[in-house]
Every structure is written in C-alpha cells, then in structure tokens.
Amino acid sequence: MNEHADVALLTQAVQIASPSTHEAAVAQFLAQAMQARGIPSTIDRVGNVVGQIGSHGPEIVLLGHIDTAPGHVPVHVQDGKLYGRGSVDAKGPFVTFVCAAARLAQHDTLPFRLTLIGAVEEEYATSRGAHFAAQRYHPQACIIGEPSGWERVTLGYKGRVLLTIATRQASAHSAGPEPSAPERCMAVWQRIQHYCADFNRTRPRLFDQIMPSLRQISSHSDGICDTAHATVGLRLPADLAPDALMHQLSTVADAQTTLLFRDPCATWQSPRNDPCATALISSIRQHGGQPGYLLKTGTADMNVVAPRWRCPIVAYGPGDSSLDHTPDEHIDLGEFARAVAVLSQALPVLATRLT
C-alpha cells in the first residue's frame, strides 16, 4: 500500500461517525479494509474489530480505540492536515496500526504474531472493549494507539476515579438560613479541591499530583425535595491507589450528601528500557526524528490492560493530543506517514527482543 491509499483509508474512517457506544459502522468498515489489505479480521462479541497476522512466535498486540468523543468536526484536508473528529483521538493511531500491519502482511513468513484490536467505549469511561481484550489475550508485548506525536513514546498514564456528588434535602425558602442543595453540593466540591491542594503542595510535577476537575453540575426542585448533582473526575498519581483515595474522600460529605465512586483505575508507568519503547525510539532515530518520552496526565486503555498482562507496554501514535476533543481536531498527514514507517520497522525489531 502507498501513502495515498493510507491517507484515503484514514479519511474514510474519520468520515464514519463513531461516538462511544455507536462504533458498529466504523468497525465493519475497518474489518473490510483489513481483509482487503491481507489482514484476516473479525468483530468480537463486544464490538471490537480484531485483525491478526502471523501464526507463530511471540504475540504483539496493537490496541487502539475506534470510538470518539461526541461532536461533529467537518472532515476535510487543508494544508496537508486532515480535520475531523477522531483524526487524532484515536482513529489516526489505529489506522497507523492497520497500515503498518498491511506492510508486514506482505511478507511470506512473519516470525511473530500480530493482533490489532480496535476497541470500543474508551471515551465512555467504561473501556468495555479493553476490559474484554484484557481477559481474552495474553501478549508478550503491547503498543497502545494514542497520540504521542511521531517522535515521542508515551510511557505512562495517570489513574482515575470518577465521582458523583449527590445532595438531597427538604425544600425551603431561599431567604431561610439553611444552605441550598446546590450550595451543599459545591461545598463538598470545595472540600475535595482543598484536600487535593494539600496533597499536591510538595509535588511540583503534574504526573505526581491529584488533578480534580468539575465536569457537570445540575439541580432540581419539585417544591418538596431539592436535589443537586455534580460529576467530578480525579486523576491520580502513581503512589495513590484508587481505593485509598476513595476512603480518604469519604469523610468530606455531610448528612445530606452521598458520594458515588465509579470506574477506578490505577496509574501505569513503564520504564524507559521497556522493549517496546527502545524499539520505537531506535526506529524514530533511523527515520530522522529526535525521540523523547512522555508521561500523560490523562487516562487510557493502557491503565486497563497493563496491570493484567504485565508485559512490555507503551503508547504510540501520530497526532497532537492537545487537539483531543476540540473543535479544531486534525492530524498532520506527513506525521501520519512517518508514524506508519516507524512502526513498520519497529515491530520486527521488538519481536526479536521478545524471543
């Protein structure tokens, strides 16, 4: 396959809307595209698209996600950049996997097994596709498809806990002395902020801090009962387990307020001498890049599969992650082509280091 065909594949994939829980159409498209490129493919029972080449040797999993954040970004190419929802996060990285695998599929014999998984519901915070894959596969190495930029390799992601603050109290006149339900809800949020600020006081690096974010707030009254709800996200450092944070925050609620925690996952960080990282770094250099390492303050499917697989694992893919979820989301097509070339060369090298 040439670069023009690769760009066409990426463009077509981005044109198919696939917000979380609505990935079926793009999964079918990618399955057919992989078949046409010599990569036998299926769709598993949770909706992941899966392609596999090679019949012996160590197994390497390339795991990306094919769902996107909500919102429509008109798909078009301008000044060598492809605009569209998912172009960066994360169809760009997953199509990079497909294009690199298609080059390797042209070899008569492949001394390793390569499994591509386009997972569902990463953006929905359930990581349903990754959880299913974590139980089904047992690879010797894994590369996660997330934007790092073609010259960078991501070694780790912060952990996460999601929290709903739910306040419920009897209705009262607004001129009365009691705080309103929204005020009580916000007071709990402020106590969470203060807790995090105290924890972070001697931690200058963001990757080592708790990062709280207020994502949603709403209130309602039927004249008898007043309620308020706030959704909070908490990004965790490596030395703070989700269970420990949930226990410590359980004291910030008052009698009218309930804290509902969900979707906890721990931080994961691989070392710089991880075989996946060193193979990619070497290939980046050989393609004229100046490689470097990243630690991301977000959370990805790496946090789901890494604790179970306990194998070499990093994240790699073209694109600027600061454009994730934005109305200006776009990927540089030259960078996309370089990432395909880097990965195509790095995978056979990685396989030799696993045997």
Strand partners, 78: 81
Rounded to a whole number of angstroms, the distance between the first and last alpha carbons of the chain is 29
**Cα–Cα distance for residue pair 161/231, rounded to 1 Å:** 11
The tokens describing 73, both together, are: 């970004």
Q: Which of 6, 23, 59, 67 is catalytic?
A: 67
The tokens describing 82, both together, are: 């492809």
**Cα–Cα distance for residue pair 244/248, rounded to 1 Å:** 6
Q: What does the DSSP 8-state code read for residue 19?
A: B
Q: What does the DSSP 8-state code read for residue 234?
A: E
In the numeric block, the tokens 């390797």 are attached to: 104
Radius of gyration of the chain (CA): 22
Q: Which of 23, 59, 121, 122 is catalytic?
A: 122
Q: Is 67 a catalytic residue?
A: yes
The tokens describing 305, both together, are: 């599969």
In this structure, which amino acid lies at residue 77? Answer: V
Kindly write down the DSSP assignment for every residue of 50-105, as one continuous string: EEEE-SSS-EEEEEEE--B-SS----EEETTEEESTTTTTTHHHHHHHHHHHHHHH
Which residues are part of the catalytic machinery?
A: 67, 122
